[in-house]
Structure 1
């Protein structure tokens, strides 16, 4: 028995190496499969962002907003090769939102098909995958221009952008020599086809139908076997005589009631049934008589309604007065410029006296001395709805109160001569309050206010009045009267940074390097205060050089603070100027955060560095977007020197310039999570000042843009 046991043990012992080897090989194979199933981290990051900008649709099975394994978990529409994503096919999925803002890191992607969805509503993102062979964005809602990144896709063979609302072809196609299919049909493109189209020598299908293009197809493209030119390139069908040699017979003019649409089988399509034709004619006559009677009655009713509203408007105008910006002044005639020396001193209602204001309204058309500044003046309007006004402690509003008559007098009836600017929220006028007091009065657009404007405006004023920082534009007072809503700020003689940099008046000294750093540091401190000191934190949402005002000593003062809720996101994105400051994630989702403010701040720093506008259509296409043009050069010393504003004439410390560029690069990173908080940006600029021995104390000397004769500024 012992021998048997010993033999069994020896046999088992002999099997151990074989079993161990098999187990080891199995584990190795399993680990190999797991490694190959893991998706590249860059691809995962890009697809997570893409899923987020699509509003996390449930129809994309297995997709997640963070991490995940697209290749190993079989995300819907994703095809991989090894650990890299090579195709994304999501046509007709009912998707909303936009493409991801960092899809350029999908470097192995060769096909992207998101056709027949509802993506867009804005420009196509410029960070597209760089090595695509097929790109299909057909039947979406993309607007604007083609992204520059398309011109760099040398491997692209198929491009379908048909059935969108794209309006401009400003991309060079010289590098797209492999392109075989190009569909730009059913957009709003205008002008002529670019000459660079001729470089696409492999093209076999070109479709530019249903656009507003003009001119002829380039000669090199006329040999394309499948060509669908825009109708303006040949005589328009609407203006040319009908062809008699057409392969299909011309349509017969219908004599039927259009509503029938030949659905009655007893009526021939050629109209050869005389009895039916006669019946149809009688029916048409009766319908025509009824329609005429209906039109006459409608016109009578409409005329009565118009007369009623005209009479009503006149009576209301007599009660309420008119818009002080129009030719309907409340109580005063337009003041000529020669009478400015007769300006009276304006009596300002102090905050402590607000509680004693009367609750009745004087309607004698003379400037009321005591009124309820926060009630509606439309009580005589039967359609007016009662607005529940929140209880606001007026004594907490640290600002003066003006009447419309006061501000009308100070601005010469809001004359064009006193108009100093117009922004997203309304026009701004220069107001001479007294001999030694000048204000900038912002007249808020009524369209920017919600349905309960009085309540909202007072709440806005209460919040703005709480700001207290030397680099924020200071609120002096406000007016809420006769349906007008005005804010009065301190007037800054040197205007905006945008005008200082980009609108030369011929007699202004250019900004020195020291002053550019000072303006950047002061603006950064303003944002730091809003983001990290205010509670709750405040997002500016409209940070740009035209909202940075400069005082006599070129200290910056950030304006439009606290206005983020006044205008919807989409309206802030409409202009070219705003698009230059807009962070990529804002373009994708329309949502603003502190990080999007930091991106906009980086763009302003680029303006200070280069002297260029954030977006400039006068530049060649690759240079129109300042960030797109400048960012790749920020870490190249030689290129950086070439980017610097020529107005500086080389007068800047090289190390200071390099550190300034480093701060910019951090702020304008496409991924918001990698941008530093404003407190870190402030510290980097403070260190820059200290290391460059520029001094930590600002000079008290006057450095006026227009009146200082010195060639440089100190700080």
Structure 2
């Protein structure tokens, strides 16, 4: 009996241990939860969950673990859609990440597993460039982004990727010269660059230990390095002039034209004439001159005749439409098919733009060397203009409400339920019949021209899914009323916390300020670098940053940029210099506005305050010169903090601000770098 009890106890103990070992690291599980949600919660990913769960213990499809850590993710070819989320960088033990051959036609996220060895993103329809974070994957051995639609030059650096042995960029639309950092790939064996639009030479590849190189169907030129001629090399469809001979040294005269048959026999045109004279005596000389004159006359007549014929054909090709109609109405006209066949040798009916190019005679000229092509050739050729692509609007992932429903929920939009008034309209508190409390934004009529535009906007907003972006719950478009229904965060906006609360006990702590800044940065990073095409906010300000009870930031008014007029809030203090001058908003102008919000968090001041001295009215102009002066910075800090902040954390916070509010937009960092800087700030300050 005692032995049986002991066996049972041991079995239970082993079961407990196995269940403990099966528990997945919380950071890994959370990252996979977000990945699952970002992929639109597909049924193909069996056992996956949107929250919680145990990927290692519950055998989530495509997940391999070692202990409590996820080490491999292979979900290739499952027909997945959506995007890859924003927390893959938390998967620090993942060595294989394969999400190839799905339908993720947006931008590759900046956040990828940092220690991955095999990264396969092929066949997903990605269009934007490669994220710079790939440059930091020092363990990477295999990188495949082939069969996408990636455009532009290669913007990553290969200096730290010495372990990379296989690189596949094939079948994209990459442009520009090969980056010089490719020469750092000392472990490279297989490189596939075919079917892109690369230009320049391939000298940078000359000293790599390559075994297979495919560069077909690009625009490479120059010569082939000798070292590459002994490997398996595929290079057709490029502009290489000579794959064997090195270029001549500088100053070498151009090669002479090879002699024709007459020159090979030692006879020039003049010696031919003189030879004829010698063979026929004096009379022969006379007849030779006469023959040459006759030949010249014949050639001249032919040339003049050809010019006249060309002129006549051009005249006919420019006949007025009335004459063409008369010709078409002639009796016994041949069928259209015969007409087109007969006209092929006289006139081309192909149209480029609105101009028809007549072809006088159906003879193909010999190929022309691109280097010898005249400027006139470039002037004559007009490339065809492709038809504009129709943008397909996706389904609306939001509930349709009636005006009656929302009137009842807001007590006919009474003042008592008014939460606030923004640039685009008023926001009301709404309590539905099921007890749910939401926020209803009533768009001002001048911002919308018709209901179709509104539905298009709703379609785009409803696709936005991020913890730091205010979620659209529903919408209403009736009787010329346009309303958006959002989740409600009853703790108020950042603007209210910083500028409207009189109760000192409710002042934001330094940790909460940093937390709000990081959340807002993640929201902009999602809009700019995860959404495809990128979403410009245009109206980023503290009033549009809502705060929940845990002081998490939720960015509102996302996707409403098309309603923001160029003249909107020009004196608000949030606009970047280029916006104030030209009215043009970009991703970089959002970054500037984010920097201004960080200045609000640091100083407690509003972006523009006309009650202050003139030199201090604009917060950005006043504060920017002082951000690197530790003494001035200390005086700038919000008095509501009462000195309770880490000095080093404050200094690093100011460094991020200085980068964001630079006058030149090209020098402002992408939001992914801002997020990374704020994350480091949190970690170094041991904040939660």
TM-score range, shorter chain: 0.3 to 0.5
- TM-score, normalised by the number of residues in structure 1: 0.41
Q: Which one scores higher on RCO, CA 8 angstroms, separation ≥ 6?
A: 1
- TM-score, normalised by the number of residues in structure 2: 0.42
